[in-house]
C-alpha cells in the first residue's frame, strides 16, 4: 500500500512556543553576562611583576657604596619606558603619570616580602626601601636610590649576593611589581618601531595604564638585561643592534608568535 506523503507541518502549541522564546532569551542573557564578565576581566587592575636587572653601587652616578651605621645605599634603574615587558607595552606616557608611586616603597628579596610566598607575603624578606625616584625624559629610564637596612633580618643574605656579583663582575638583577589596568591598542599607534618587534600596524597589543607601583625586589634573573641598562648598579645606556641582528630578532619574534598561535595560546 502506498502511503501519502505527510505534508502536514508540525503544530507548535502556544505554551511550547513561549517556552522556546523564554529559553532563547535566557541564552541571550547568559551570553551578555559572559561578555560583560570578560570585559570586566580585561579592564580589571592586575598585579604585575616585571623583572629588570642591574644594581649600581653608590648614589646617583657614583661607583662607591655609601655605608653608614644603619644602611647601605645603592642606585638602580627600575624600568625603561616605551618598551614591551612580557608582551605588554609600558609607555612613557603612563610612566610619567605614575612613577612617583614608587617613592618610599619597600625593597625585598625575590618578591617574598611584598608579593609572593604562596600569596602570603613574609615581611622578614623586606630589607629596605627606595626614594629619590625620577624619570629621565631623554633616556626614559625610571631610577631610584635604594637603602638596605643592616637591621633587617636578611640583610647579610642580600649583601652577600651583591658582593658575589661584584667579585665575578656580574650585575645583580631587580624586578618591579605594580598594579595596572590593561587594554588592547593597535601596534601602529605605539610610539615605537613596532615592525622591529614583529608586529604589523593593525595587530592588537596589550597596553598597560593606571599604574600603581608596589615594590622593587632584588632577584636572580631579570627580564630587562644589564645590556639594556636596567637594575642595581647601572647607568642607563642605549643598546644598538646591527641591521642583520635586527632582522634576525624580527624573525625570532614572528616565529614565536606563530608557535603560540599553533598551540592556541
Contacting residues for 195 by C-beta, under 8 A, at least 6 apart: 250
Q: For residue 227, which of 217, 212, 218, 240 has the smallest C-alpha distance? A: 240
- How many Å apart are CA 125 and CA 114, to the nearest integer? 8
For residue 44, the model assigns a pLDDT of 61
Say if residue 50 is exposed, middle or buried (CB neighbours under 10 Å; 0-12, 13-18, 19+): buried
For residue 240, the model assigns a pLDDT of 42
The whole-model pTM stands at 0.68
- Paired with 147 in beta bridges are 73, 129
Cβ-contact 176, 50 below 8 angstroms: yes
Read off the DSSP letter of residue 4.
P
For residue 238, the model assigns a pLDDT of 38
For residue 255, the model assigns a pLDDT of 73
For residue 51, the model assigns a pLDDT of 64
* Residue where the block lists cell 511550547: 16
For residue 239, the model assigns a pLDDT of 40
For residue 61, the model assigns a pLDDT of 38
For residue 64, the model assigns a pLDDT of 37
Please give the grid coordinates belonging to residue 110: 625575590
For residue 132, the model assigns a pLDDT of 96
For residue 101, the model assigns a pLDDT of 97
- Strands (DSSP E) found in 110-252: 126-135, 141-149, 173-186, 204-219, 231-232
Ranges under pLDDT 50 in the chain: 59-65, 234-241
Read off the DSSP letter of residue 74.
E
Distance of alpha carbon 88 from the chain centroid: 6
Amino acid at each position: 500500500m502506498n502511503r501519502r506523503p505527510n505534508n502536514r507541518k508540525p503544530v507548535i502549541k502556544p505554551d511550547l512556543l513561549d517556552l522556546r522564546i523564554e529559553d532563547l532569551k535566557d541564552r541571550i542573557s547568559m551570553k551578555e553576562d559572559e561578555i560583560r564578565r570578560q570585559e570586566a576581566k580585561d579592564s580589571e587592575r592586575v598585579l604585575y611583576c616585571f623583572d629588570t636587572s642591574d644594581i649600581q653601587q653608590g648614589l646617583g652616578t657614583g661607583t662607591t657604596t655609601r655605608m653608614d651605621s644603619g644602611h647601605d645605599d645603592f642606585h638602580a634603574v627600575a624600568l625603561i619606558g616605551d618598551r614591551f615587558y612580557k608582551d605588554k607595552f609600558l609607555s612613557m606616557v603612563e610612566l610619567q603619570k605614575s612613577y612617583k608611586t614608587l617613592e618610599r616603597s619597600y625593597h625585598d628579596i625575590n618578591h617574598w616580602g611584598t608579593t609572593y610566598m604562596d600569596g602570603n607575603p613574609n615581611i622578614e624578606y623586606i630589607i629596605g626601601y627606595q626614594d629619590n625616584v625620577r624619570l629621565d625624559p631623554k633616556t626614559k629610564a625610571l631610577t631610584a636610590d635604594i637603602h638596605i637596612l643592616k637591621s633587617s633580618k636578611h640583610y647579610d643574605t642580600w649583601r652577600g649576593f651583591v658582593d658575589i656579583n661584584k667579585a665575578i663582575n656580574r650585575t645583580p638583577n631587580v624586578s618591579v611589581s605594580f598594579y595596572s589596568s590593561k587594554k588592547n591598542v593597535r601596534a601602529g599607534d605605539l610610539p615605537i618601531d613596532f615592525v622591529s618587534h614583529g608586529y604589523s600596524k593593525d595587530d592588537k597589543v596589550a597596553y598597560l595604564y593606571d599604574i600603581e607601583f608596589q615594590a622593587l625586589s632584588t632577584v636572580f634573573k631579570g627580564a630587562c638585561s644589564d645590556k639594556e641598562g636596567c637594575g642595581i648598579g647601572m647607568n642607563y645606556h642605549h643598546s644598538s643592534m646591527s641591521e642583520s641582528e635586527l632582522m634576525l630578532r624580527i624573525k625570532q619574534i614572528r616565529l614565536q608568535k606563530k608557535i603560540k598561535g599553533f598551540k592556541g595560546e
